[in-house]
Structure 1
Amino acid sequence: MTAYIIRRLFATIPVMVVVALFVFLLLHLTPGDPAAIIAGDDATPMEIEGVRKRLGLDLPIWEQFIIYAWGLLRGDLGTSIFSNLPVTTLVAQRLEPTLVLAASTLLVAVVCAIPLGVFAAWKARTFVDRVVMGFSVLGFAVPVFLVGYILIYIFSIELRWLPVQGYRPLSQGVDQTFRSVVLPAVALGTSYMALIARITRASMLEVLSEDYIRTAHAKGVTTKSVLLRHALKNAAVPIVTVIGLGMAALISGVVITETVFNIPGLGRLTVDAILKRDYPIIQGLIIIFAGTKVLINLMIDISYSFFDPRIRY
């Protein structure tokens, strides 16, 4: 197992190099000049050229990439063009809201989706099963931003139970943080929950048709033990895979959700950087997101052996 983990960690190096190269080229070859945006609409060509020299944008692309890659090796993601602050500082300032939102979404989705999927598989082809699967299809089809606006209208505007937008840090109290993230977590977790519930049901149906499940029933094992101890554990590998892939997919969902609920996290930072064409921030965030996804995939692979002892690396 240790040798496998080391091999996988070394395999991430070429992946991250390719990601850095493509992100750098994609941003620098697309139309638009950040120097013109910084200089303003009334700037002269000479003033724009001065800004380009100050930012190093007048250098050849290959030289800019070497400077950028050397900074990455030293843990330097660059400096924001507009705020003149290090990208690592900006990420650290926005990290807590995103982590809290992602963790809350994951908790809501997993706690609700797995029991729904197990229950639907147990009651397969009944009215309960159709209701659960109908909810799954609807939750997966409806856009996250639409669910968010519906929740805001019901629970914030009509009932006035929860704040409309914004984020309260943990330093102001866990209860205040909970009130500020419950709506975005439910909105983002709806589609995620739908996917996990469908995969859980499909995987459970396959396992429940196995001979050892019928043997357990014949020996008088209770339904609860059959579902949880025998079936769910053996059906866990595809479920864990979907949960892990969904964690990586939360990145795109966080960008939309934080914009709808005005949460100052990494999603909002990404949108603001794209609108301003702030190259260092965009590059740094994509590198962080890509590295996170690679580590999540590694954790998924390692977890397989805990759920199925037959899997060996």
Structure 2
Amino acid sequence: MFAYLVGRIVSAIPILLLVAVFIFSLVNLTPGDPALLLAGDNATPAQVEQIRERLHLDEPLHTRFAIWAGNALQLDLGVSIYSGQPVTRLIAQRIEPTFVLAAVTLVITVLIAVPLGVIAAWKANTLIDRLIMGFAVLGFSVPVFVIGYLLAYVFSVTLKWFPVQGYSPLADGVFETLRSVTLPAIALALVFAALIARVTRAAMLEVLNENHIRTARAKGLPVPRILIVHALKNAGVPVVTVIGIGLTTLVGGVVVTESVFNIPGIGRLTVDAITRRDYPIVQGVILFFATLLIAINILVDMSYALFDPRVKG
């Protein structure tokens, strides 16, 4: 198991390097001069040149990448062009809302998707199965911002159960925090749950046709025990895999959802940085998310040992 973990970490290093090269190239090869944007319309050529030197924009591309990558290894992602604050500090200031929203979304998703997928597989080709799969198709088809606006109109504007926008930090109380992220979390979860429910159903259908499930039925074991203990555990690998893959969808959804509900998280920071062409923030945030997703994929691979004993070897 330890050797498997080391192998996965080593194999992730070149992937992260390629991601870093792609991020740096994508941002630095786009049209426009950040130095001109930062200096303003009334700046003199000398002032623009000073800004260009300070940002290393006068260096060759490979030299700028080496400087940026070396600083990134030391957790120095540069300084924001507009605010002048370190990018790592800006990310740290915004990390709580994003992680709370992602965590609540993940919990809601699993509580919705896995039971629906199990029930759909147990009641395959019945009206219940068709209704659940119809919900899954609908949830995966509707854009997350449309769901967000509908939820905000019904539960915030009309019923006034939840705040329309904003985020209450954990320092103000867990209840207020959960109340502020409930609607955006549900909007994200409905999209996320649709994918997981379909995969759970497909994996469960395959397991329910195996001999040990027929034996459990013949012994008269209770249906919940058959579905949860015998079937769901054996179907856990594809379900956990799609949860890990779906987190990439969740990251993209966080950017949109935080903008819709005005949540001051990393997604909102990314949108603001793109509109201002604050490329150190854009680079830092994308690299942060890429590293996070690689770490999540490694954790997902490690979780396979809970469902497949062969991974432990």
> Shift in Å at residue 184 of structure 1?
0.2
- For residues 78-114 of structure 1, what are the alpha-carbon distances to aligned partners after superposition, in whole Å with 9 as ceiling and x for unaligned? 1111111111100110000000000000000001111
Tell me the amino acid that sits aligned with residue 310 of structure 1: R
1:162 match: secondary structure: coil
Correspondence 1:85 to 2:91 = no
2:309 match: secondary structure: coil
1:264 match: secondary structure: coil
> Shift in Å at residue 46 of structure 1?
4.2
2:161 match: secondary structure: coil
Tell me the amino acid that sits aligned with residue 53 of structure 1: E
Aligned to 1:66: 66
> Shift in Å at residue 48 of structure 1?
2.7
Contact preservation (8 Å) 1:34, 1:276 = no
- For residues 228-282 of structure 1, what are the alpha-carbon distances to aligned partners after superposition, in whole Å with 9 as ceiling and x for unaligned? 1111111111000011111232111100000110000000111111111112111
Aligned to 2:197: 197
**In structure 1, distance between residues paired with 2:212 and 2:13:** 43
Correspondence 1:31 to 2:31 = yes
Aligned to 2:129: 129
Correspondence 1:156 to 2:156 = yes
> Shift in Å at residue 44 of structure 1?
4.3
Aligned to 2:221: 221
- For residues 123-150 of structure 1, what are the alpha-carbon distances to aligned partners after superposition, in whole Å with 9 as ceiling and x for unaligned? 1111111111100000000000000000
TM-score normalised over the length of structure 1: 0.97
2:202 match: secondary structure: helix
> Shift in Å at residue 52 of structure 1?
1.7
Query: Which region of structure 1 is more displaced relative to structure 2, 50-59 or 15-24?
Result: 50-59
TM-score normalised over the length of structure 2: 0.97
Contact preservation (8 Å) 1:79, 1:85 = yes
Contact preservation (8 Å) 1:144, 1:191 = yes
2:190 match: secondary structure: helix
Aligned to 1:260: 260
**In structure 1, distance between residues paired with 2:71 and 2:50:** 23
Aligned to 1:250: 250
Query: Which region of structure 1 is more displaced relative to structure 2, 17-26 or 142-151?
Result: 17-26
Contact preservation (8 Å) 1:248, 1:296 = no
Contact preservation (8 Å) 1:248, 1:292 = no
**In structure 1, distance between residues paired with 2:45 and 2:275:** 22
**In structure 2, distance between residues paired with 1:199 and 1:125:** 16
**In structure 1, distance between residues paired with 2:311 and 2:96:** 36
2:160 match: secondary structure: coil
**In structure 1, distance between residues paired with 2:160 and 2:189:** 22
**In structure 1, distance between residues paired with 2:56 and 2:311:** 51
> Shift in Å at residue 6 of structure 1?
1.3
**In structure 2, distance between residues paired with 1:215 and 1:11:** 42
Unaligned runs of 5+ in 1: none
Query: Which region of structure 1 is more displaced relative to structure 2, 2-11 or 176-185?
Result: 2-11
Aligned to 1:173: 173
**In structure 2, distance between residues paired with 1:117 and 1:227:** 11
**In structure 2, distance between residues paired with 1:177 and 1:192:** 21
Aligned length: 313
